[in-house]
C-alpha cells in the first residue's frame, strides 16, 4: 500500500531568548505554551464546547462577574474594543469618553468612526480623571460612558467608584477597558457595576496575544437584543457570536456556527486562567502591588521616577520618567539586544520621555526585576548596590 | 533572597484524539504545533520583524503574487473578509457579488452592512457561476466584483478566467475569497489579476485558525490610499495595519504600533507555509486533485455521490449527497464519537442532505482517507471491500 510521504521536517525559526518586561506581551509560562500546542480539534466538537464552557467559567471568576454572556472575542485586545463599539454604540449616540492616554484616544477615534457624538473628558497623560468631571458630563441623552481602567500608555489606574450609579441615573451603559488591569489590579466587574468590559490576554494573564476576554451585563444584553439595526460589522456581531458561545446544555439548541474560533488560542487562555485562579485573585493583586512598589523603590536610586502620583498608579505597569542625559531609545535598544530584556518606550506626548515597565503575572516577581535592575545599572554605568538592596528588601 | 513561588502546575485539559476531515480546521502537523509553542517575544522586537518579513515572503510564494502589501490579518478567515469590505468598499458603492453558497451569502451580508449596493449574481448551491453572467453584471459604476474561489459550503471551485479583464474594462476591483482553495487548488493570484484576496489558515495550510492571509495589488493600494473618508473600522483599518506590517529595511521608518499581533499564531503560520513550499505548489495542487478523486471513487460504492459536477469541483473539499435512509446527523455523530473522525454536515439549503469532507494538506492522503472509508462502511453496515480497493488503486 503506497502512502504519500510528506517531506522531512526542518527546524523551526530560532528566536532569541527575551525577558518581556514591557507593556505587553508579558512572559508566557511554559505551561501555557504547552497548552497552546495541544492538537487542534473542531470548533463544533462537543469536547471543544466543554472546554469553552470551562474557559467561560474561569473568565467569570477572574473578571468577578456572574454575566452569562462572557466569552473571548476572536482577535487581540483592540478587537474587544471594536466589538464594544459596534455592538453597544449606534451612529448618532452621545458617548462620554475619558481620555488621559493613548487607549482613551483610541476609543474616541473608534467611537467617531462609528458615527457617535463623542464628549471627551480629558486629563493630563499620567493622571487619573476626576470622577466628578466624568459624571458631570453625563446627561439623559447619553448612551454610554467609557473609561480605561488601566491606561497602558501611562501606568494610571482610573477609579471606577461612583461611575455605575451615575450611569444608571442617566440610563447610560458603563463601558470599561481592562486590558492591562485584569488579574493584576483589584477589579470586580459586577461590584463596580460595569456593563461591558474587554481585556487582552498578553498582559497580566500571561497568555500570547490573540483573544479578547469580553463580558456583558444583563442590562447591556437587553439593549443589544433590542437593537433594530443590524450590527455594521459582520465579524464582531455579538448577536451572532453569542449564538456560538452560548451554553451547550441539554435541551438547548446546539452552538450555531459563526466563524471558526481560534481554537489553540482558547487552549492557551484556558490554561492561563487556571494559573491565575490557582494563585487566587486577592493574592495575585497583592503580589502585583508589592512587585510594583519593589521595582519603584529599586529604580529611584537610578533616577527613574514614577510618572503617576501616589494613589493613581496601576500596579501592572510602571511608567517612569527617564533622567536627563540618557538617550532613552539607545538605552532601551541596548537592554533588548545586549541583555535580552524588553521594556517599552513612551507613546504620544510621552515619547522619548518615559519608559513603561510591565509588572505582569510571572513578570511581577523578584528574579526578573533583579535582572532588569542590574542591567539598567550597567547601561547607566551606575553602582547597582542601592537599587538591588532596595529591591531585595522589598521582596524579603 | 526570597522569591515568590508560583503554584505547581496541573495537567492541561485532555482533549480527545481527532482526525479532522471536515470543512476545517484541518489536521495540524506536530511541527506546526511545536512552532506555535515557541516562546512569545515582543511584537516590535526586531527579531519578530524579521520573522514577519520571512512569513510575508512565504505567503507571497504560496499566493503566487509579487504584492508588497501581503500580510496576515489578526483574526480568523472571516476577519479577512471584513478587512476586504471595510477597506475596499465604501457606503453607496455598487458591488457585484457572486452567490452560490454560504460564503457568497456571507459576503453579500457584510457588503450590505457596509452600506454597499449589492448586485447579486446567483447560481444553485453546488454549481459554479457562469463567467458571462458575472461580467455582464458589471457596469461603469461598479466599484468591485467579488467571488468565492473555493466555496466551502458546496465544494465548488469558481473559475477566475476572464474576470480580471472585465473588471479592468469597468475600472472595478476583483475581490476573491480563497479561504479553502489556497494551497489546495491551482491558484496564481497575480496571473489571475486578483486585486485583493483573503484566506484562512485552518484549511489547506494545516495551521490552527486565528489569522487571515491577505494580499493587495498595487492597483488596489492606490485606491486605498486615495480614500478620503477614514475607514469605519479601527481594528481592520489597513492604512494603519500596513504601517505595522511594512518592510523594516535600513533607512525606512520603524514599524508603527497599531495593535499587538497574535505573535504565536504568526510562528505557526510561518512554519505551516514552510511545509507547503517544501512540497512545492504544483506538487501540492496535484496531490490534492489526486486525493479528491481517490476519495470520490471510494465513496461511490457507499452511495455517496459528489454534489459538484465534473469540472466545477474544488479539490480540497468534497461535498457528497447522503443516501436516502441514512440519518446523516446520527451517522456523523457516531463517526466523531466512536471513530474519532470529524466530517461536516451541510449548511443552508443543503443541511441534512450533504456531507462536506475535507481534502486538506496532510488530510489529503491515503491513510486518513482509508480510516474514514473503513469507518463509514462500518457505520453503514456495508462491505468495505469495493471502497477500499478503489481507494488503494487510486493511491497506488
Provide the H-helix boundaries in chain B: 30-36, 46-63, 77-88, 102-113, 131-136, 163-169, 218-226, 238-245, 263-279, 281-299, 328-339, 366-379, 385-395
Contact at 8 Å (CB) between B327 and B303? no
- Residues in B closer than 8 angstroms to A6, CB to CB, are 29, 275, 279, 362, 365
Residues lower than pLDDT 50 in chain B: 1-12
Q: How far apart are CA B99 and CA B312, in angstroms?
A: 15
Interface test with B, best of A5, A7, A15 (most B CBs within 10 A): A15
Note the pLDDT of residue B254.
80
User: Does any CB of chain B come closer than 8 Å to the CB of residue A42?
Assistant: yes
Which chain B residues in 148-207 lie under 8 Å from chain A, judged by CB atoms? 200, 202
Note the pLDDT of residue A251.
75
Of the candidates B82, B274, B395, the beta carbon closest to that of A2 is on: B395
Contact at 8 Å (CB) between B314 and B126? no
Q: How far apart are CA B342 and CA B25, in angstroms?
A: 10
Closest chain B residue to A5 measured between Cα atoms? B365
The size of chain A, in residues, is 396
User: Does any CB of chain B come closer than 8 Å to the CB of residue A227?
Assistant: no
pLDDT above 70 covers a percentage of chain A that reads 96
Q: Do A41 and B20 touch (CB under 8 A)?
A: yes
> Quick one: pLDDT band at residue A248, thresholds 50, 70, 90?
low
CA-nearest of B48, B9, B262 to A362 is B9
Contact at 8 Å (CB) between B181 and B151? no
> Quick one: pLDDT band at residue A13, thresholds 50, 70, 90?
low
Per-residue b/e over A176-194, b at no fewer than 16 CB within 10 Å? bbbbbbbbbbbbebeebbb
User: Does any CB of chain A come closer than 8 Å to the CB of residue B16?
Assistant: yes
Of the candidates A47, A235, A291, the beta carbon closest to that of B15 is on: A47
CA-nearest of B105, B189, B95 to B148 is B105
Of the candidates B106, B263, B367, the beta carbon closest to that of A3 is on: B367
Over residues A126-172, the pLDDT tens digits come to 999 999 999 999 999 999 999 999 999 999 999 999 999 999 999 99
Interface test with A, best of B21, B22, B36, B253 (most A CBs within 10 A): B36
Predicted complex: ipTM over 0.90: yes
For β-strands B317-321 and B354-358, DSSP reports them as antiparallel
Measured from the Cβ of residue B351, the count of other Cβ atoms closer than 10 Å reads 11
For β-strands B94-99 and B117-122, DSSP reports them as parallel
User: Does any CB of chain B come closer than 8 Å to the CB of residue A265?
Assistant: yes
Of the candidates A1, A7, A208, the beta carbon closest to that of B279 is on: A7
Note the pLDDT of residue A249.
66
- Residues in B closer than 8 angstroms to A350, CB to CB, are none
Q: Do A31 and B25 touch (CB under 8 A)?
A: no
| Max intra-chain CA distance, chain B | 77
End-to-end CA distance of chain B: 66
Q: How far apart are CA A64 and CA A68, in angstroms?
A: 12
Q: Does residue B25 have a cis bond before it (omega within 30 degrees)? A: yes
CATH 3.90.1150.10 maps onto chain B at 281-395
Of the candidates B76, B233, B267, the beta carbon closest to that of A259 is on: B76
- Rounded to a whole number of angstroms, the distance from the CA of B169 to the nearest CA of chain A is 31
CA-nearest of A335, A395, A341, A343 to A366 is A395
Of the candidates A35, A39, A79, the beta carbon closest to that of B235 is on: A79
User: Does any CB of chain A come closer than 8 Å to the CB of residue B110?
Assistant: yes
Contact at 8 Å (CB) between A45 and B48? no
Ramachandran angles phi, psi of B360, nearest 5°: -130, 115
Q: What is the CA radius of gyration of chain A?
A: 22
Three-state DSSP class for residue A244: helix
Closest chain B residue to A279 measured between Cα atoms? B7
Does an H or E element contain A97, and which? strand A94-99
Over residues A67-80, the pLDDT tens digits come to 999 999 999 999 99
Measured from the Cβ of residue A240, the count of other Cβ atoms closer than 10 Å reads 17
How confident is the prediction for chain A on average, in pLDDT?
95
Contact at 8 Å (CB) between B302 and B276? no
Over residues A209-225, the pLDDT tens digits come to 999 999 999 999 999 99
Of the candidates A234, A342, A364, the beta carbon closest to that of B45 is on: A342
- Residues in B closer than 8 angstroms to A232, CB to CB, are 113-114, 232
| Residues facing A197 on adjacent strands | A176, A215
Residue range B30-277, CATH number: 3.40.640.10
- Rounded to a whole number of angstroms, the distance from the CA of B304 to the nearest CA of chain A is 23
DSSP string, A164-220: HHHHHHTT-EEEEE-TTTTTTS---TTTTT-SEEE--SSSTT---SS-EEEEE-HHH
- Rounded to a whole number of angstroms, the distance from the CA of A138 to the nearest CA of chain B is 25
Handedness of CA A329, A335, A337, A342 (dihedral sign): negative
User: Does any CB of chain A come closer than 8 Å to the CB of residue B250?
Assistant: no
Provide the H-helix boundaries in chain A: 30-36, 46-63, 77-88, 102-113, 131-136, 163-169, 218-226, 238-245, 263-279, 281-299, 328-339, 366-380, 385-395
User: C-alpha angle A393/A394/B3, rounded to 5°?
Assistant: 90
Ramachandran angles phi, psi of B369, nearest 5°: -70, -35
Interacting residues of B333 by C-beta distance below 8 A, sequence separation 6+:
none
User: Does any CB of chain A come closer than 8 Å to the CB of residue B38?
Assistant: yes
Contact at 8 Å (CB) between A369 and A298? yes
Which chain B residues in 282-321 lie under 8 Å from chain A, judged by CB atoms? 287, 291
User: C-alpha angle A74/B95/B64, rounded to 5°?
Assistant: 65
User: Does any CB of chain B come closer than 8 Å to the CB of residue A27?
Assistant: yes
| Residues facing A212 on adjacent strands | A73
- Residues in A closer than 8 angstroms to B36, CB to CB, are 36-37, 264
Whole-model pTM over 0.90? yes
Q: How far apart are CA A122 and CA B27, in angstroms?
A: 50
Handedness of CA A226, A228, A232, A236 (dihedral sign): positive
User: Does any CB of chain B come closer than 8 Å to the CB of residue A339?
Assistant: no
Interacting residues of B185 by C-beta distance below 8 A, sequence separation 6+:
B149, B150, B157, B204, B285, B288, B314, B315, B316
User: Does any CB of chain B come closer than 8 Å to the CB of residue A28?
Assistant: yes
Of the candidates A78, A233, A263, the beta carbon closest to that of B209 is on: A263
User: Does any CB of chain B come closer than 8 Å to the CB of residue A81?
Assistant: yes
Angle between helices B218-226 and B238-245 (to 10 degrees): 120
Architecture of domain A281-395: Alpha-Beta Complex (3.90)
Note the pLDDT of residue B8.
41
Whole-Å CA distances, B4 to A140, A302, A313, A384: 49, 24, 22, 22
Three-state DSSP class for residue B132: helix
- Rounded to a whole number of angstroms, the distance from the CA of B316 to the nearest CA of chain A is 16
Note the pLDDT of residue B249.
66
Of the candidates A40, A85, A106, the beta carbon closest to that of B208 is on: A40
| Residues facing B118 on adjacent strands | B95
Whole-Å CA distances, A241 to A70, A114, A139, A236, B113: 11, 20, 31, 7, 16
Half-sphere exposure of B244 (CA within 13 A, CB side): 20
Over residues B245-267, the pLDDT tens digits come to 987 667 777 889 999 999 999 99
- Residues in B closer than 8 angstroms to A263, CB to CB, are 25, 208-210
- Residues in B closer than 8 angstroms to A330, CB to CB, are none
Closest chain B residue to A363 measured between Cα atoms? B4
- Rounded to a whole number of angstroms, the distance from the CA of B272 to the nearest CA of chain A is 10
User: C-alpha angle B163/B164/B166, rounded to 5°?
Assistant: 65
Q: Do A3 and B365 touch (CB under 8 A)?
A: yes
Average the pLDDT over A278-287 and give the result. Answer: 98
Q: How far apart are CA A353 and CA A14, in angstroms?
A: 33
CA-nearest of B179, B223, B151 to B75 is B179
Closest chain A residue to B18 measured between Cα atoms? A41
Of the candidates B34, B364, B396, the beta carbon closest to that of A37 is on: B34
Over residues A94-119, the pLDDT tens digits come to 999 999 999 999 999 999 999 999 99
Note the pLDDT of residue B97.
98
DSSP string, B81-124: HHHHHHHH--TT-EEEEEESSHHHHHHHHHHHHTT-EEEEEE--
CATH 3.40.640.10 maps onto chain A at 30-277
Measured from the Cβ of residue A266, the count of other Cβ atoms closer than 10 Å reads 23
Average the pLDDT over A273-277 and give the result. Answer: 97
Q: Do B234 and A77 touch (CB under 8 A)?
A: no
Note the pLDDT of residue A254.
80
Q: How far apart are CA B391 and CA B293, in angstroms?
A: 9
3-state helix, strand, coil in chain B (%, to 5): 40, 15, 45
Q: How far apart are CA A337 and CA A15, in angstroms?
A: 12
Whether the per-residue pLDDT at A14 is higher than 80: the answer is: no
Total CB pairs under 8 A between chain A and B: 286
Closest chain A residue to B80 measured between Cα atoms? A235
Q: Do A235 and B78 touch (CB under 8 A)?
A: yes
Contact at 8 Å (CB) between A196 and A140? no
User: Does any CB of chain B come closer than 8 Å to the CB of residue A394?
Assistant: no
Interacting residues of B234 by C-beta distance below 8 A, sequence separation 6+:
A78, A81, A82, A85, A106, A109, A110, A113, B240
Amino acid at each position: 500500500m503506497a502512502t504519500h510521504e510528506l517531506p522531512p521536517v526542518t527546524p523551526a525559526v530560532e528566536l532569541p531568548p527575551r525577558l518581556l518586561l514591557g507593556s505587553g506581551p508579558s512572559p508566557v509560562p511554559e505551561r501555557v505554551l504547552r497548552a497552546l500546542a495541544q492538537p487542534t480539534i473542531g470548533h463544533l466538537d462537543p469536547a471543544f464546547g466543554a472546554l469553552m464552557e470551562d474557559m467561560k467559567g474561569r473568565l467569570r471568576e477572574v473578571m468577578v462577574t456572574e454575566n452569562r454572556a462572557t466569552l473571548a472575542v476572536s482577535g487581540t485586545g483592540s478587537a474587544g474594543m471594536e466589538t464594544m463599539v459596534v455592538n453597544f454604540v449606534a451612529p448618532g449616540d452621545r458617548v462620554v469618553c475619558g481620555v488621559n492616554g493613548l487607549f482613551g484616544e483610541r476609543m474616541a477615534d473608534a467611537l467617531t468612526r462609528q458615527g457617535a457624538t463623542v464628549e471627551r473628558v480629558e486629563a493630563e497623560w499620567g493622571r487619573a480623571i476626576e470622577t466628578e468631571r466624568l459624571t458631570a458630563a453625563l446627561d439623559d441623552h447619553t448612551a454610554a460612558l467609557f473609561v480605561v481602567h488601566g491606561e497602558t500608555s501611562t501606568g494610571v489606574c482610573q477609579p471606577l467608584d461612583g461611575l455605575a450609579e451615575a450611569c444608571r441615573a442617566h440610563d447610560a451603559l458603563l463601558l470599561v477597558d481592562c486590558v492591562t488591569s485584569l488579574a493584576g489590579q483589584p477589579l470586580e466587574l459586577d461590584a463596580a457595576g460595569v456593563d461591558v468590559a474587554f481585556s487582552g490576554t498578553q498582559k497580566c494573564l500571561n497568555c500570547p496575544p490573540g483573544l479578547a476576554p469580553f463580558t456583558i451585563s444583563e442590562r447591556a444584553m437587553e439593549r443589544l437584543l433590542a437593537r433594530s439595526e443590524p450590527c455594521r460589522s459582520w465579524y464582531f456581531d455579538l448577536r451572532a457570536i453569542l449564538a456560538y458561545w452560548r451554553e451547550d446544555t441539554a435541551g438547548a439548541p446546539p452552538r450555531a456556527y459563526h466563524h471558526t474560533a481560534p481554537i489553540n488560542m482558547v487552549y492557551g487562555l484556558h490554561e492561563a486562567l487556571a494559573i491565575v485562579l490557582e494563585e487566587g485573585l486577592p493574592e495575585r493583586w497583592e503580589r502585583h502591588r508589592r512587585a510594583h512598589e519593589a521595582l519603584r523603590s529599586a529604580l529611584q536610586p537610578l533616577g527613574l521616577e514614577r510618572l503617576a502620583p501616589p494613589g493613581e498608579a496601576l500596579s501592572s505597569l510602571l511608567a517612569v520618567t527617564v533622567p536627563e542625559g540618557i538617550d532613552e531609545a539607545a538605552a532601551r535598544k541596548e537592554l533588548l539586544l545586549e541583555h535580552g530584556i524588553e521594556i517599552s518606550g513612551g507613546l504620544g506626548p510621552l515619547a522619548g520621555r518615559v519608559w513603561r515597565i510591565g509588572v505582569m503575572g510571572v513578570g511581577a516577581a523578584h528574579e526578573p526585576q533583579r535582572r532588569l535592575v542590574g542591567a539598567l545599572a550597567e547601561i547607566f554605568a551606575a553602582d547597582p548596590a542601592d537599587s538591588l538592596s532596595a529591591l531585595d528588601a522589598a521582596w524579603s
